Amino acid sequence: MGECEPVVMDKRGLVEKVGWPWMTDRKRQLRDPAHFAASPHARPGSPLATPFLDLTQLPPRAGPRPVTHDKCPHGMLEHQSPPEMLERFKRAATEAMRAKGDVAVGATTVSIQTTYPCFHLHPSVPLPPGLIEFREFAHVHAPFVDGEGWTHAQGGGGGSTHLCVSHADASALIERGWGEWHPVAQPSMPHVMVYAPRDEGELRVALAALEASYAFVTSAKR
């Protein structure tokens, strides 16, 4: 997703291991639910602001947010899904998206090589007006391996997902602690990272966010 910049992490590293033990200004922006609120795309009535999440099923996420990168490659370094949960999430996500009929499941066109499954909207489906042409609307990251570095074998944080969602849903996910903006997100490309599910309740939220992403990118055909 866009140009990769030098990595900055809080707690665990500046370009790998030399730490920022404090919040950076960039991190504050990525975790600000109102970061794009001034944009016409984010205002009520915009095709890019329609909510699709059921907020009654979106409680605040338990515990602190995970350590994540401020810049590309964007990923989470802790709080990853347990192996069994990761496999369940990938299986359920794949089954749900394949059942749509207009989503292909395959390799990534934008992320690091270990990212899978990735969900691509069929070219015949119109996107919401104003949304940047971007067909890989969601993908699930492989586990981050401490000490591996950013090689072809590294993962972006097992069970974390990058999703294209509406501004309303992005703001709700961020405000309630479930995710943060992608570093290359912009008003016409509202992309977020949703943190990896660690238990049954978080699995339901992760799948609901994926469904909301699909509903958003296909909303122009309704």
Q: Do the domain assignments include residue 36? A: yes
Give the total number of structural domains in the chain: 1
Enumerate residues 6+ apart whose C-beta is below 8 A from 180.
30, 31, 65, 68, 174, 192, 193
Q: Do the domain assignments include residue 8? A: no
Instruction: State pTM to two decimals.
Output: 0.88
pLDDT tens for each residue of the chain, 222 residues long: 333 333 333 344 343 333 333 457 778 889 999 999 999 999 999 999 999 999 999 999 999 999 887 766 788 888 999 999 999 999 999 999 999 999 999 998 888 888 999 999 999 999 999 999 989 999 999 998 887 776 677 777 899 999 999 999 999 999 999 999 998 999 999 999 999 999 999 999 999 999 999 999 999 986
pLDDT, tens digit, 9 for 90 and up, residues 42-65:
999 999 999 999 999 999 999 999
Q: Do the domain assignments include residue 94? A: yes
Q: Do the domain assignments include residue 7? A: no
Q: Do the domain assignments include residue 201? A: yes
Q: Do the domain assignments include residue 6? A: no
Q: Do the domain assignments include residue 169? A: yes
pLDDT, tens digit, 9 for 90 and up, residues 152-183:
777 778 999 999 999 999 999 999 999 999 98
What is the residue range of 151's domain? 25-54+64-221
Q: Do the domain assignments include residue 104? A: yes
